[in-house]
Structure 1
Amino acid sequence: MTLLVDPPLWPRHGRVWGHLVSDSSLAELHSFAARAGLPERGFDHDHYDVPAERYDELLALGAELVGTRELVRRLRASGLRVRARDRG
């Protein structure tokens, strides 16, 4: 059970964002996000969008920084990945 974050690369709303995922369960992801004080509105089907300024805190809480490709690979392998076409 691992929480993963990829490098913040996505500009939006005057900030740069990355993603927080679990490689084992959405329950684990939501629990970690609540502990970190991330707002529920940041959840997007299979991940939380996280601003760059929160990364140090997430890493201190135990999240692992991985490359974007590794994050997607592990999310797919977990069976939790929601494809863009299925997001509705």
Structure 2
Amino acid sequence: MTVLIDPPNWPGPRGLMWSHLVSDRSLEELHDFASRLGVPERAFDRDHYDVPETVHARAVELGAEAVSSRELLLRLVASGLRRRKRR
């Protein structure tokens, strides 16, 4: 299993900082992990989950690999799972 989480660097709702949660293996793996973490399905956006800073430590406890935002994006793109917004 390779689920990745970047630092909570992104400002978001409720005055919290947010992280991205991705898998570099499969979306099924990502959805399973998010479910175990208690992240609602509505937090999924094309190829990642947006998760608040309040769950970052728990994600790492459950086995997510903490990486930089750059590393997360590089590995997501390399996996072939990156889904860009359509223009």
Taking structure 2 as the reference length, what is the TM-score of the superposition? 0.94
Give the structure-1-normalised TM-score: 0.93
Distance 2:61 2:48 in 1: 19
- Partners of 2:19 and 2:37 in 1: CA distance: 15
Question: Which aligned segments of 4 or more residues in structure 1 are displaced greater than 3 angstroms?
Answer: none
Whether 2:72 is the aligned partner of 1:71: answer yes
Residue 9 of structure 1: aligned partner: 9
**Cα deviations across residues 20-69 of structure 1 (Å, max 9, x unaligned)?**
00001000000000111100010000000010110111000000000011
- Equivalent pairs counted in the alignment come to 86
Q: Structure 2: state its 5+ residue gaps.
A: none
Inter-partner Cα distance in structure 1 for 2:60 and 2:10:
19
RMSD: 1.0
Deviation, 1:83, is 1.3
> Which structure 1 segments of 5+ residues have no match?
none
Partner SS state of residue 45, structure 2 = coil
